[in-house]
A and B are shown apart, each in its own frame.
Chain A
Amino acid sequence: MKSVRMKRQLFPAIAAFSLVVGAASAEPTSNPPGSPSLQSPPILQRSLPESAAVLYNEGNAAYREGRYSEAVTAYLRALEAGAQNSAVYYNLGNAYFRLGRIGRAILNYERSLRLDPRNDDARQNLHFVSLLITDRVEAQDIEVRVQETIRQTLGQIGADWLAIALSIGFFGLCLVAAWWLLGGRRTGLTITAFVLAATLFLGSASVVGVQRWVSDAGRAAIVLTSQIEVRFEPSTTAKVAFVLHEGTKVWVERREENWALVHTANGLRGWLPEELIEVI
């Protein structure tokens, strides 16, 4: 009888959690028409100031009329207004491509995919433009190839949905643990609930861990100048190790003054002036 009374103490907590998670999935969406199909969990959706959308639409109008420089300016202003949106980066990449600035185009397609890994248009355009750059770098490092494959696969899941799955698994585990602590019987139902919750939690935690391993956020960068001499030391007098061209992706390992130590997908390493690349 006392254990029943103790278990009743769990109900408010369960109710509160259910309400929050329920609200997260039940809140109506406010996506613009025609926007990419990928949506964040509704609780996270936050519309930006109207000015960002206005500037974005101005950029689109300029693009349609072939005024690509003006389109670039409008998209950049939309970004300054806080429009961290995959579509803005994608359209900006298109405008840069039309202006012949391949490095900037690739940079913005990469940023678009970083925000929305399921943006198929950005993926296609990135592939198309990557065929036009001078350097053809094939990943020789097995770790880089594995990470790239996993990144593309996990990109389809969506970090936010993963977080919710992790949270629900965690809650289920805690609920079953509290139930058992308060003397609840180990029935088939509670054991099944425990196994499901544990699987969900461990699965989501593993995917989160793998995502962190493969993430190159803050390290991957794009060469923005037509040609860079990459040197063995961070000095203009150092011997040239190899030459990179516009649009090539590199990974920054560390920085020293105005120089960055980078490596390419095929494992070449060297120093280059930091201002000639831009981190994705």
Chain B
Amino acid sequence: MNRSLGHIPFFRAAGIPCLVVGALLASGEASAQVNVAATVNRNQASVGEQIVLTITVSSSKMPSVQPPQVPDLNLPGVAVAGPQGPSTSQEISIVNGQTSQKVTLSYSYYLMFQRPGEVEIPALEVIADGQLYRTSPIRIVVTKPGAGQAAEEVPLQVRVNVSRTQVYQGQEVVVEYVMYEQNTASARIANRQVSQEPSFTGFWAETLLDARQTQVPPRQEVINGVPHVVMPILRLALFPTTSGTLTIPPLGLTATVAMPTGMRNFWGDPVYRQKTVVVSSPERTVEVRPLPPNPPAGFGGAVGSFHLTSRVDRTEVNQGDPVTWTVTLEGQGNLKAIGDFIIPSLRDFRAYDPQVSTTFAPSTEHYGGKKEYERVLIPLHSGATEVPPASFVFFDPEVGEYRTISSARHRLTVNPGAATEGAPLALGLTQAQIRQVGSDIRFIQPDAVALEDEARTIWRSRWYWAIQAVPLALVLTALGVRWRHARLGSDPARIRAMGAQGEARKRLKKAHALKKKGDLQGMTNALGHALTELVADHANVSAAGLTSDRIRDILTERKVPAELIEQTLAILGRCDRARYAPSAVTQSDADELYRMSHTAIRHLMRHLTT
């Protein structure tokens, strides 16, 4: 019990995280003296008795109070209500003519202890006037009931009823928290609230009844001669998920009770005082036994009491027409964790995917419902056949054994269908959907003679990027050519001169071709034409009007050596003679003339372009 109050759960349950009081004093003045203290009305209490913890924040100025927050606390066995307040008091004193005042804010917590031992309320942090203050820790001694001072009788109790204290794992335990309220003239109870919700560990919990959500009629009961109003607050079906000793946690309740003071007022009426009380149910334990070992095949964890039925929507059917087969499991137990039915092989039917639905129909006393398995079957053969029974395995805790229950077997009369009447039936070749019954990773890739380096992508290849330069160079070249032509477009003479050499070469080729063909006159004409056009292109004049003298002048102007000029004119003269006396040209003359023309054109091109 010697545990820090910093873990007490009731603060969380009360929805109050951490206590922070902000005290902002009037602007322009120095901060006032602030005192923060935590006090209890007594340091000793017995189990079931409550004490009041008060936090006071006192200051010489009226502080502005922010919503209080308390730390997250979690300590099983202690219930709390609060904080309540603040209540404010103001004190003004005049000493030697000096006026001083003191303002005090108080927050109250009502603690009730459920276990004997020692509890330490740790230092609580309070922020006032922008400063952090810590209260002093407080140690509380909790004694067993009756060991210390007699507890003040509270006309309110919470009891817990547990249907079984020894169960099997998965077996239903019904737990009911019930409020008992004295129904006497002196007991005045109001503002009842659940301050501590039970938190179940090791159980699967399903709510059967909650008085906060449904109207629950109270009943009257006389206990030790005192009439009581009895009302269930919460009823749950618990299913232990583990074996061992499990604890049913308490439920805490707070209420405001008008307690008689024993005094009477001026008119003789009794005087009451309002008091906030915290009561909680005692902790209970349940012994959970594990299920017997070696359950039958098909056991899916169902524990409880179940029965299995089945039906078909018709017993006589045409071949190829559907029959709906419904298997229903009903009973008490945790239907959310019962596993599946055992469905037999339906080899005489084409079976469609089943529709499974679960309906939870808990009563106020037990948790249960039904699970339906509906499947459409189409008989494959005519004649008498039957739908085999389905089965279900569960553990019956009343007899302490596993049980396997089966549904009925349904006989069907299947009439031959119109489409298949007279058709031979291939027994044993019935169709059914192929279903995968397991899962695993796929097998490894096979052996390899060589492995390809797949990390090598084309993007990383130098060749790839080198190839991209080709089309780029293409465009750049075209651009260059276009630019050059644009630049030279204003000087047609130069363009003509630049093209002269190529034209001369082509004419020489033509002459050579004619010579090979034996057309000697054509050859001499082509040679003369080539020489004359070469000179005309460079001089940008028409070849038709060029005489020997004009050619000499042009070539002299372009500083062609005189010897070459004379040689050129001599060739042209021979070409002219050959034109007029073609029969005088022999093959050897033609060869010599071609050779001389070739040499002359080559030299002329060199001299004319420099």
Per-residue CB proximity of A1-44 to B under 8 Å, as 1/0? Answer: 01000100110011011001100000000111111100011011
A86–B467 Cα gap in the complex (Å)?
A: 28
Q: Are A181 and B475 in contact (CB under 8 A)?
A: yes
Residues of chain B with a CB closer than 8 A to A64's CB = 444
Q: Does any Cβ of A come within 8 Å of B293's Cβ?
A: no
Write the nearest CB–CB distance from A68 to chain B, whole angstroms. 11
B interface list, Cβ under 8 A from A: 439-459, 461, 463-464, 467-468, 470-475, 477-479, 481-482, 485, 499
Residues of chain B with a CB closer than 8 A to A124's CB = 441-442
Write the nearest CB–CB distance from A84 to chain B, whole angstroms. 4
Write the nearest CB–CB distance from B448 to chain A, whole angstroms. 4
Residues of chain A with a CB closer than 8 A to B450's CB = 30, 32, 47-48, 50, 53
Closest to B479 in A: A181
Contacts known (A13-B473, A178-B474); A167 close to B448, Cβ less than 8 A: no
Q: Add 7 more A-B contacts to A40-B456, A43-B463, A83-B451 (CB < 8 A).
A: A17-B467, A17-B471, A32-B448, A40-B454, A47-B453, A85-B451, A163-B459
A231–B63 Cα gap in the complex (Å)?
A: 40
Contacts known (A36-B445, A94-B441, A128-B439); A46 close to B453, Cβ less than 8 A: yes
Give 25 A-B contacts (CB < 8 Å), ordered by A residue: A20-B470, A31-B452, A34-B445, A34-B446, A41-B458, A44-B461, A46-B456, A47-B453, A50-B450, A78-B451, A83-B451, A84-B454, A84-B455, A94-B441, A94-B443, A95-B444, A115-B455, A128-B440, A159-B458, A159-B459, A170-B468, A171-B471, A174-B471, A174-B472, A182-B481
- Contact of B470 (CB < 8 Å), options: A17, A83, A115, A164: A17
Q: Are B470 and A13 in contact (CB under 8 A)?
A: yes
Q: Are B453 and A85 in contact (CB under 8 A)?
A: yes
Residues of chain B with a CB closer than 8 A to A50's CB = 450
Q: Are B441 and A163 in contact (CB under 8 A)?
A: no
Q: Are B481 and A35 in contact (CB under 8 A)?
A: no
Stretch at the interface among A55-63, A222-230, A268-276: A55-63
Q: Are B482 and A53 in contact (CB under 8 A)?
A: no
Q: Are A167 and B452 in contact (CB under 8 A)?
A: no
Q: Does any Cβ of B come within 8 Å of A91's Cβ?
A: yes
Total A residues in contact with B, Cβ cutoff 8 Å: 68
- Contact of A115 (CB < 8 Å), options: B454, B471, B473, B485: B454
Residues of chain B with a CB closer than 8 A to A13's CB = 470-471, 473-474, 477
Per-residue CB proximity of A79-99 to B under 8 Å, as 1/0? Answer: 000111111101100110100
A interface list, Cβ under 8 A from B: 2, 6, 9-10, 13-14, 16-17, 20-21, 30-36, 40-41, 43-48, 50, 52-53, 56-57, 60, 63-64, 78, 82-88, 90-91, 94-95, 97, 115-116, 121, 124-125, 128-129, 159-160, 163-164, 167, 170-171, 173-175, 177-179, 181-182
Residues of chain B with a CB closer than 8 A to A121's CB = 442, 445
Greatest chain A CB density within 10 A among B443, B458, B472, B482 is at B458
Q: Are A84 and B439 in contact (CB under 8 A)?
A: no
Write the nearest CB–CB distance from B289 to chain A, whole angstroms. 32
Shortest 10 CB-CB distances between A and B: which pairs?
A174-B471, A84-B455, A32-B448, A178-B478, A87-B445, A181-B478, A34-B446, A47-B450, A91-B444, A163-B458
Contacts known (A121-B442, A159-B458); A182 close to B482, Cβ less than 8 A: yes
Closest to A120 in B: B442
A57–B473 Cα gap in the complex (Å)?
A: 48
Q: Are B474 and A48 in contact (CB under 8 A)?
A: no
A85–B453 Cα gap in the complex (Å)?
A: 6
Residues of chain A with a CB closer than 8 A to B443's CB = 94
Q: Are A56 and B451 in contact (CB under 8 A)?
A: yes
Q: Are A45 and B459 in contact (CB under 8 A)?
A: no
Q: Are B471 and A48 in contact (CB under 8 A)?
A: no
Residues of chain A with a CB closer than 8 A to B452's CB = 30-32, 35, 40, 45-48, 85
Residues of chain A with a CB closer than 8 A to B455's CB = 84, 115
A174–B481 Cα gap in the complex (Å)?
A: 15
Residues of chain B with a CB closer than 8 A to A33's CB = 446, 448-449
Q: Are B441 and A35 in contact (CB under 8 A)?
A: no
Contacts known (A32-B448, A163-B459); A20 close to B475, Cβ less than 8 A: no
Q: Are A16 and B447 in contact (CB under 8 A)?
A: no
Q: Are B478 and A94 in contact (CB under 8 A)?
A: no
Q: Are B451 and A53 in contact (CB under 8 A)?
A: yes
A163–B467 Cα gap in the complex (Å)?
A: 12
Q: Are B478 and A160 in contact (CB under 8 A)?
A: no
Q: Are A159 and B457 in contact (CB under 8 A)?
A: yes
A83–B445 Cα gap in the complex (Å)?
A: 14
Residues of chain B with a CB closer than 8 A to A53's CB = 448-451
A224–B285 Cα gap in the complex (Å)?
A: 43
Q: Are B449 and A48 in contact (CB under 8 A)?
A: no
Write the nearest CB–CB distance from B108 to chain A, whole angstroms. 35
Closest to B452 in A: A45
